[in-house]
Structure 1
Amino acid sequence: MQQLNEQLLITFECVSAIGTSLQLREMMEHFLKVFSRKMGALASIYWTYDTKTHTYKQLCLNGKKAYQALFVTPSFAAPLQSIYFDQSSGKHLLHVKVGEDWIGLIFQASETEIELIKAIIASFESKLENAVHACKNHLELIEINQTLERRVEEEVLKNREKDQHILQQSRLAQMGEMISMIAHQWRQPLGSISAVAASIKLKTSLNRFDYTTPEGIETSKLFLGEAMSKIESYVQFLTHTIDDFRNFFKPNKQKESVTLAQLVNRTLEIIGKALEINGITINVETRSNHELFTYANEVTQVILNILKNAEDVIKEREIKRAQILITIENEGSWQIISIEDNAGGIPESVLPHIFEPYFSTKSEKNGTGLGLYMSKTIIEEHCGGEILASNTSMGAKFTIKLQEG
């Protein structure tokens, strides 16, 4: 009875040493230390099976290193428990299989004692296997998470690179459109400069000024002064236009306090003349003039892109009395700008896809399908807002929502 109680106590202490950690090495080192002390093992070792190389590797060793040479690495096909007797040292070597791994134990004991040890091990062998599996599953889960994190980082990097590439393509496409806008903006002032210069040349060649009298000299000075003022005004306009276009493409990543009305005015200074020449009337209704802190230059690009798309559709469908309504209002802490045309709207089959990259309905006109995708990226990812598209009774309506803060 005393021997049974002692055996149960030993078994309980060994079982308590199982599963103390989810780190396999840490857990087995603790278990082997407790088991060796309680069972009188001179040394113990744990081999783990490497599924990649199909070999056994020593994970941990308990006891004097002098005994390490007595251990014989087991094979995968060996019996679940086996006893070896080393003649030279007079020691018994016990091998116990744990899942795919092995425990090796060296004893200075009789075969009867070894059989008792085997019986004790058998009583908690299933729990030991479960603990080993839990450790390995935990390690596998950590590796999966690390792999997943790495793959997520790689995909995020790829998406950033893709967005940069798309942004560059979008910028190049916009620059081509800008050249056309510059031509519209410059045509009138250049024509006016040419007219003033021709007037000066004509009056001079026809000797319309009498330089022999004070009145004639004063008249000529007055005429030339007015002409030069006009030319100077037109040149300033051209210079201002160049600054507008240069600033538009400047990679400005600084936020600034600005109103949506100011952004609309900046945009119309760029595209307004082109819309006017194409017979498109712009109506702006400003119901809110609150400032917001945002990437003004990028929001201007979005407004310009929507207006340019509206212009293209109006021209393509040959809309009479074409008009674009721009409404600025607020809703709580949101500043909202709506841009609505009267070109008939977006086909319902197309509407869900218009913000997808490379989706375009004007391939015959070399549409890149990048403008609205980049507009969505700018508004939602860079500026933390929303951009929506819908159809009204008149045509297409784009709504941009930005936070005031």
Structure 2
Amino acid sequence: MTALQLPRADGTLVEHVLTPPRHWPEPAGPLRTRVAYAAVHVVPRALGENVPGAPADIDWESTLAYRRRIWSYGLGVAEAMDTAQRGMGVGWTQAAELIRRSASEARATGGAIAAGAGTDQLDLAALPSGRAGLEAVLDAYREQLEVVADSGATVIVMASRALAAIARSAADYAAVYGALLDEADAPVILHWLGPMFDPLLNGYWGSEEVAAATRTFLEIIRARPEKVDGVKVSLLDAEHEIALRRALPTGVRLYTGDDFNYPGLIVGEGTDHSDALLGVFAAIYPAASAAIQALDRDDPRTAKSILDSTEPLGRLLFESPTFHYKTGIAFLSWLNGHQPGFAMAGGLHAGRSVPHLAEVLRAADGAGLLLDPDLAAHRMRQFLAVNGVRT
């Protein structure tokens, strides 16, 4: 057995004995009972200038290999979302290339892909006000929607920092989203990202009151339900999600984005359940697949048990400040050998402390998600050493 000396937040070192690797079988065919996407991260090029303020320099081979692994477990890929550091190191130019390359890989492998279209090519400081600003937002959305649609990916209409900055009422949101849905050639996924993930989205849908924002959100969907495949909601509020799920028009899916409460929301009760579009699935994809395979066998108890075993890891990755959840996902990717170094675009690998990342290893091990414990232990020792931790 492999043992490690891991630091705690109080500075003490505690021995941790790694468990043997768990076998997570790939599905024999498509997953049937839930539609599930993993919102995946990007791997930076090891010798690239991936420093704060610089455009992302992406390691395409490692980044696309990670997506192929997600598809091998039957999950879809949600591309160029906030997990991929949209607006946080990865700008629209890099995101557009990421979407094109990933969609090409999806066609080659038969994997499902959806991709984010937003407005992050806009300079917030230079936005005009009033109607001119709303038109600028619409034009930016249209540009990105065209790229996603042309790639063959399902469109995810991402929440817009620019719209949040210039909208003055719920009517402004209804006007922008109504125009986008009217113009859409195929049903899209609408994305509601809460301010815990991005503070610049506070007051989205025209109100800081969740109940009022929800009414506006539902009015937009109910006006054109045939144009909405589903909604991806990331508010970390299970009760709100369940109520919203039940209020949606028939045929509109609720893709949970609740990285805290996903086990109960996905398993649900009978037909009352959420589908999934989750950043945490990038970290727990073998277990997520196994749980849905259990649901496909009509075994919700096993599915819930598997997902419950990953919940401590999910809560740790997404603890406050939630904005930095991507750091833990990249760290776990490195521990598992999916990227050559522990680094992130924009230098965001500095977003979590050494004790926090030691806890990530413990939680991943507890969920059976260290795919090669010896490799993970070797890399963890290197990480501790370079950070001045004597073990």
Comparing both structures, which one devotes a greater share of its residues to strand?
A: 1
Task: Give the structure with higher Rg (CA).
Answer: 1
TM-score strictly above 0.5 = no
TM-score normalised by length of structure 2: 0.22
Q: Which structure has more RCO (C-alpha within 8 Å, separation ≥ 6)?
A: 2
TM-score for both structures, normalised by structure 1: 0.21
